Amino acid sequence: MAVLLPTTIDETLAALAATPAALVLAGGTDVMVDVNEGRRRPEHVVCLRRVETLRARSVENGTLVLGAATTYTELLEPEIAAVAPAITDAARTVGSPQIRNAGTIGGNLATASPAGDTLPVLLALGASVEIDGPAGRRRIALQDFLVGPKRSALEPGDLMIAVRIPIRRGPQEYLKVGTRNAMVIAVASLALVVDLDARTVGIGLGSVGPTAFLAAAAAEWLTPRLVWADDRVSLPQAADAATFAGLVAAAAQPIDDHRSTARYRTHAIEVMASRALRRAVQFGAPHRAAT
Amino acid sequence: MNAYPLRVNGVEHDVVDAWDGENLLYVLRERLGLPAAKAACEQGECGSCSVMVDGRLVCACLVLASSAIDADIVTPEGIQPSAHGELTPVQDAFVSEGAVQCGFCTPGLVMAVHDLLNREPAPSDLAVREALSGNLCRCTGYGRVLAAVNRAAHAAAAAR
């Protein structure tokens, strides 16, 4: 095994161009489990630990740009929570402090597990992934990046540079079901993001399909039934909440596995959809706007 | 590579004739003779191999050792105030509260508590529970451990 430790993005791309089959190592929290158990024996490893620019975080014209090697612990910072609170909520549910100190948002995306904790949130926020590689620098919408279970749109020689997240004003909810509050892989998870300016709702689901995915039909059904004000959104017909939750659950395609059953997952998603909506949206007639 | 350097507890070591795919826990224990970090799950679940790498608490089993060649690594051996068997205030609190049964999880717990109290000298009970959520004890439960953290925090406050 040859381990390369580049220090810049250009060096990393050059290393990957020379050995396109190389394993890209970020936080190691997924990859090293496979190496330890002998499931992976990469000949070449390109380690991102020294590439400081991959940990850069900035806000550009209403977009939060997170370097791909941003750790979950870094996602807990108040500056992130202020502009994308659901990302912070999801990051806090990942593993333990030890895992959050090592694992990265780029690793979560590249692993592309249907249970990846940040994926439903990033989908609901409308995030995109910035990639560089043999095909050049490009951006891919996250729903197109997640092409299958543990399969992403990354091609050999590609490097994920950053995750681009539109900053949205309005309530954001993240809910996750598991057997503990820590060290748990989601049995089911859901993110709901309201954008008071665009007057849209995004709903991302995790662990209830081959990939994390958007419950787009449920969001489209809900949006015209909402009454929008500058600082809040209401659902006049409270009974619509149950229909909405049913539509979200209908979008789920869960399976039975060692963590849970399809039946329970569908139930959990329906409850979470209802709960997230109740937290984000005022039920009943909208209050008169304050004058 | 046939050899690579690792800086552990301030001492430079050469790791010689090792497979580059070895995790840091294995290298610490089997190649450098530092057995305090414990090997149990080797998948980041149990926290018994907790060490500091560049000031961050991580599971040594998930660190590719050959990628950590310029990092500052601190193991449970490295937190001792001296080589003469003195205990840190955290270790002392673990002893006083009887927060040890078989002792296997203790080095990892001690590392996690050191990390917590360095960041947050007077943590709430919930902050303590969250900070220790990645360290599993299969003997006693966590009551005495939580009492030990409380004792260490109070001892540190009294000393200030």
Q: With an 8 Å Cβ cutoff, are B44 and A98 in contact? A: yes
Closest CA relative to residue A175, chosen from A106, A270, A262, A243: A270
Q: With an 8 Å Cβ cutoff, are B67 and A25 in contact? A: yes
Confidence (pLDDT) at A233: 96
Q: Which residue range is the domain that position B143 belongs to? A: 89-159
CATH of the domain at B143: 1.10.150.120
Q: With an 8 Å Cβ cutoff, are A47 and B64 in contact? A: yes
Handedness of CA A73, A78, A80, A84 (dihedral sign): positive
Domain boundaries, chain A: 2-166, 172-283
From chain B, pick out residues whose CB is under 8 angstroms from the CB of A2.
1, 20
What residue type is A174 in one-letter code?
A: Y
CATH of A172-283, one of 3.30.390.50, 3.40.50.2300, 3.10.105.10, 3.90.245.10: 3.30.390.50
> Domain ends where: B21, B51, B79?
B79
Confidence (pLDDT) at A287: 62
B60: DSSP letter: G
> Domain ends where: B50, B79, B108?
B79
Q: With an 8 Å Cβ cutoff, are B57 and A101 in contact? A: yes
pLDDT tens per residue across span B23-40? 999 999 999 999 999 999
From chain B, pick out residues whose CB is under 8 angstroms from the CB of A96.
44, 47, 133-135
Structure tokens at B88: 């840190």
Structure tokens at B147: 């009492």
Compute the mean pLDDT over every residue in chain B, rounded to the nearest whole number. Answer: 95
Closest CA relative to residue A67, chosen from A183, A163, A185: A163
In a mutational test of the B interface, the residue from A24, A96, A183, A185 whose CB has the highest number of chain B CBs within 10 Å is A96
Same domain for B66 and B8, yes or no, is yes
Whether B129 is in a domain gets the answer yes
What residue type is A30 in one-letter code?
A: D
Report whether A124 contacts A192 (CB < 8 A): yes
Same domain for B19 and B45, yes or no, is yes
CATH topology of domain A2-166: 3.30.465
> What does chain B come to in residues?
160
**Beta bridge partners of residue A162, listed in sequence order:** A67, A130
Q: How many CB pairs under 8 A join A and B?
A: 93
Structure tokens at A95: 């593993």
In this prediction, residues A244-249 reach a mean pLDDT of 98
Edge-to-edge strand ranges of the sheet holding A227-228? A227-228, A233-235, A282-283
Name the one residue in this structure whose structure tokens are 């939750």.
A245
Confidence (pLDDT) at B85: 78
Interface residue ranges in chain A relative to chain B, Cβ cutoff 8 Å? 1-3, 5, 25, 27-29, 32-33, 35-37, 41-42, 45, 47, 49-50, 73, 95-99, 101-102, 181-183
In a mutational test of the B interface, the residue from A4, A36, A45, A98 whose CB has the highest number of chain B CBs within 10 Å is A98
What's the pLDDT band for A286 if we cut at 50, 70, 90?
confident
Whether B84 is in a domain gets the answer no
| B12 interfacial to chain A (CB closer than 8 Å) | no
Report whether A160 contacts A140 (CB < 8 A): no
Q: In this predicted complex, what is the ipTM?
A: 0.96
Write out the DSSP string of A186-220: -SEEEEEEEETTTTEEEEEEESSSSS-EE-HHHHH
pLDDT tens per residue across span A109-165? 999 999 999 999 999 999 999 999 999 999 999 999 999 999 999 999 999 999 999
Same domain for B114 and B67, yes or no, is no
Closest CA relative to residue B20, chosen from B59, B65, B58: B65
Instruction: Return the percentage of chain B with pLDDT > 70, whole number.
Output: 99
Confidence (pLDDT) at B70: 93
Phi and psi at residue B118, in whole multiples of 5°? -70, -35
Structure tokens at A4: 């390369």
